[in-house]
Amino acid sequence: MELREFAERIVFGTSLAEKLADPGPLTDTRPGPALASPTEPGRPEHLRFKARQGSGEDSGFPGMRGLDTDVGRGRVLHFFANHELLAVELMALALLRFPDAPPAFRMGLLHTLRDEQRHTQDYLRRMQACGVTFGELPVSGHLWRLLAPMASPLDYVSGLPLTFEQANLDHSLAFGRAFAEAGDGETAALLRSIHRDEIAHVAHGLKWFRRWKDPGLADWEAFRTHLQFPLSPSRAKGPSVDEASRRAAGLDDAFIRQLRVHGQSRGRAPAVHWFNPFAEHAVAGHGMESLPAVRRDLARDLDTLPVGLVRQDDVVLVHEEPSLEFRESLRAAGLPVPEFDVLVGGRIRPGSNLLARAIGELRPWAWGPDAMECLGALSGRLPSGAHRPPACMTPERAATFSKPWSAAFLRRWLAATPDADWLCTADEVGAVVHSMAEARDVIASIRGRGHHRIVAKAALDLAGAGQLRLWEDEVLPAQWRWMESQVEHPSGLVVEPWLERLVDFSVQIDVSACEGGQGRTEIVGYAGMEADLRGQFVSNWAEPAFHRRPPAAVERRFTGIPDISRRLRGHFTELIQALGQALREAGHHGPAGIDAFVYRDAAGRARLKPVVEVNPRHTFGRLTLSLMRHAAQGTRGVLRVVGRRDLRASGEPTFAALAARLRRAKPLVRTNGPAPRIEEGWLCLNDPAKAQSFLATFEVSPAHGGLGRDTTSLRIEPPPTPPES
């Protein structure tokens, strides 16, 4: 029989007997013309493909559940048998699609095809022994739809041997162990035999892949760039990557390392994250190019920070793809390694696969005008019913970013709240001024009440920047000029007394969209915060229990007040409902953070200022709480952004050198068990090798009681000087 006739019987035959028959000796003297790919292969009616699933993924696969019963094992084997039959059909299709391929390739492909026929027959026998008949369950055609459009032999070897058969190196081992544990030694032995065959199949594909790929590219780059969505290297591995079998197939260590940390959704519509920390600048109507250089550096250096917020298979937009070593460090810490999609000029690049695939959610750091412009191109990829980005920045939404909005909310809240001697009064709330005359009057009034130190805050800024501290006996001319430049903002300027802060913290909330006239606001958790003497952000800290109650350091400041823990929780439960409703009415929903602090009043008593600023976006406090999901019980986590000044103080020449020193000082240690978590150690949240001005670090340590603003453990100091000899 001619090889072409044999391949045609497999692709177009409508019986299993035709597809699995051994034809005996074959010749390949008349390969014929190239065949166009049919929509589906011929099959008996009971093995026709089921209706296409919306996700495009195989569905109904039972996984390892139920392997302790005959029926459960039979269902898994049914799925495996269909996949092997699909491989037989696709290999036969490749013979028909590429008649001009080298004879040695075609003969090697024939040998592989015969292995797959045997695998299918073996699965059928084991399945029938379990009481399950082939075709009594729906069968998927997902693999055919993915690979049948192959346009070249390179497409074939990239798609089937190097993607799906490579993944089966992992799956055959994992399921072999699972069947053995379930007491089915015969199927376990079959899977071990199939595993050995798959090594040879991957090796055959790799040999020809290397012959046909761009010789200027390494194997990994050629493989990654040749696959077209929805194919991706993520499909070439199981939950655990077996290195030994890949080395046996000829893959090198560089390829295996990259494969381990490659992330891309294999079916779930991912959330797309983008770190845009200066949305307030865009809300103020300024172009992002007018940001000071140091802020542009921060946005670029820390663009990987959403790695602390992602789920498996999510996407993070970045300016430059992070290094392999950085992605390996995330994996070693147990964080999901997302797919990184590189922006061009701050926009989705024209060739990005995000423009052609389903997107589950868009999650910028903040929904400002910059995010609307950057992510608007993806809004059409969202499913029906999903929240879409705002079409424009309304004045109401813009106002929620401003400090006057926060001050006005706190003033209304205090007016509607019964007096409590542990809460601030209206005198400690910032006054919003719109003229220099008002500013002079407010400053005089505050000092008349005994507060000599005063702070003036610009309407739109963040992290303690844009503040003017009035501590001198007389306001200086330069200070008056600064206030005059700020008071012209439509939202005004906030002037308030400078208070003696004891503990800074934040409350992180989620504001749901209004559905049927109702909306919900939930507390995600509390995060401690350390600020410097100027009130600017230094670090956040948290413990796993912080999602339930404020930090113990907050409660301990209120000595002598009975049941303060319950009072604080009740106060914030009511406050966030009112705040959530106010944000919802302004058009915001999603994450938000409330900065708060405990301070000492003139009589020496501790009081709570429950709203210092409202941030209608993600915050470092929210990121800290998210990172604590990966930390063990009984630990604390500290998030800090290290700048150039800290780097100089450390005595290290680069951020990479500093990161290496921190990791040596406290290596990452994780718990044992099925869900290991970080017990101790350092983790960098952006790539130290590429950081120019900023490095974000997360340190996990054993918790020793409540934390205060003076107890964060990171202190950047030079390494000790060795003693003179």
Angle at 415 between CA 410 and CA 417, to 5 degrees: 90
Asked if residues 225 and 217 have their Cβ atoms less than 8 Å apart, the reply is yes
* The two structure tokens encoding residue 650: 């450390």
Burial class of residue 473 in the structure, from the number of CB atoms within 10 Å of its CB (0-12 exposed, 13-18 middle, 19+ buried): exposed
Q: How far is CA 236 from CA 195, 230, 693, in A?
A: 15, 12, 37
| Gap between the Cα atoms of 111 and 710, Å rounded | 69
pLDDT of residue 711: 36
Edge-to-edge order in the sheet of strand 361-364 = 347-348, 339-344, 315-318, 271-274, 361-364
Tally of CB atoms within 10 A around 599: 20
Report the relative pairing of strands 590-600 and 500-511 from DSSP bridges: antiparallel
pLDDT of residue 651: 94
Q: Tell me 82's DSSP state.
A: H
Query: φ, ψ for residue 458 (rounded to 5)?
Result: -65, 150
Give residue 117's identity as a one-letter amino acid code.
Answer: Q
Angle at 479 between CA 476 and CA 482, to 5 degrees: 155
pTM of the model: 0.88
Nearest one of 161, 274, 164, 167 to 210, comparing CA atoms: 161
| Gap between the Cα atoms of 68 and 130, Å rounded | 11
| Gap between the Cα atoms of 555 and 462, Å rounded | 27
Asked if residues 8 and 37 have their Cβ atoms less than 8 Å apart, the reply is no
| Gap between the Cα atoms of 182 and 455, Å rounded | 69
Domain ranges of the chain: 3-24+69-261, 271-393
| Gap between the Cα atoms of 194 and 169, Å rounded | 9
Nearest one of 86, 74, 16 to 45, comparing CA atoms: 16
pLDDT of residue 460: 84
| Gap between the Cα atoms of 304 and 695, Å rounded | 11
Give residue 362's identity as a one-letter amino acid code.
Answer: L
What torsion, rounded to 10 degrees, do the Cα atoms 576, 580, 582, 585 define?
Answer: -170
Q: Tell me 609's DSSP state.
A: E
**Residue-wise DSSP of 221-285:** HHHHHH--TT--GGGG--SS--HHHHHHHT--HHHHHHHHH----SSSPPEEEE--TTHHHHHTT
**Residue-wise DSSP of 376-398:** GGGGGGSPTTSPPPPSS--HHHH
Burial 174-199 (b: 16+ CB within 10 A, else e): bbbebbbebebeebbebbeebbebbb
- Spell out the alpha helix ranges (H) of 395-435: 395-400, 403-415
Q: Tell me 368's DSSP state.
A: S
Nearest one of 354, 346, 401, 398 to 373, comparing CA atoms: 346
Partners of 340 in beta bridges: 316
| Gap between the Cα atoms of 433 and 404, Å rounded | 9
**Residue-wise DSSP of 129-141:** HTT--TTSS-B--
- Rounded average pLDDT per 10-residue block, the chain, 725 residues: 96 96 93 95 94 54 85 95 97 97 97 97 96 94 95 97 97 96 96 97 98 96 92 92 97 96 82 94 84 92 97 94 95 94 92 90 93 90 79 88 94 91 92 94 93 90 74 92 88 92 94 73 93 78 80 89 90 94 92 96 93 95 95 93 93 96 94 91 96 96 57 47 40
Radius of gyration (Cα) for the chain, nearest Å?
Answer: 31
- Sign for the CA dihedral angle at 382, 388, 391, 393 comes to negative
Q: Which own/partner contact pairs does 445-450 have at CB distance under 8 Å and 24+ positions apart?
A: 446/495, 446/496, 446/497, 449/497, 450/602
| Gap between the Cα atoms of 474 and 461, Å rounded | 25
Asked if residues 283 and 588 have their Cβ atoms less than 8 Å apart, the reply is no
| Gap between the Cα atoms of 142 and 82, Å rounded | 11
**Residue-wise DSSP of 299-364:** HHHTTTGGGGTPPTT-EEEESSPPPHHHHHHHHHTT----EEEEEETTEE-TT-GGGGS---EEEE
